[in-house]
Amino acid sequence: MTKKASFFFTASCLILLVPVPPHFAFGIVFILCAAVIVLAAVMLKALIEYIGVKKYKNLLFMPGILAVTLFLYALVGLWSPVTAFTFGFIMYILPVSLFMNASIFADEHCPLKQMLIRELKNCAVLSVSGLFFFAARELLAYGTLSLPVRSGLQVFGILKGLGFFPVFFWATIPGALVLLAFLLVALAAVYRRYGIKEDAL
């Protein structure tokens, strides 16, 4: 995966965060599931190459990732039915996005270890960026931070002043898109700052 592909893959994954409810607690669970699904996609791609059925890659990739998503969704439902109900169909956007980005995993002759290390780095960037997105969104909208619990979420008041003047714009889809735009601009600057050449982008 080139640096350009890595950045745009991260950006496409971050866009999936917009419809998630604006609470840090839900963001933690969603990002954890997204990281597992991305790494499962890498393992599935390696397995398809190992058993020599690459020409059926598109037929095998989507059902395989969907199965992983269904399993994760079931685990979330067992742990916290409220969280699973809140996510609804959003969880199923993840495998669709990965299928649309399947070309990212199409590198030829890439050892599994190298591929895993690369994707672990991408997952780290995605996770840190996503957690920052959810934390900033909840703080700006409600002045609180929440943590996931079996009953749904546990809320802690941080910026108590916003309790009297809640900025609900940041809890809306347009507000999430504005915040995401700022985050992607910052990410692009970080990618360039750490040695991404213009021809690689």
Give, as one character, the DSSP assignment of residue 162.
G
- Residue with the bigger pLDDT between 103 and 150: it is 150
At 145-200, the pLDDT tens digits run 999 999 888 988 887 655 445 567 888 888 888 888 888 888 878 777 765 444 44
Question: Whole-structure pTM over 0.85, yes or no?
Answer: no
**H or E element in which residue 154 lies:** strand 152-157
Close Cβ partners of 9 (under 8 Å, ≥ 6 residues apart): 1, 101, 104, 122
Residue-wise burial string across 160-191, b where 16 or more C-beta atoms lie within 10 A, e elsewhere: eebeeeeeeebbeeebbeebbeebbeebeeeb
At 77-92, the pLDDT tens digits run 999 999 999 888 888 8
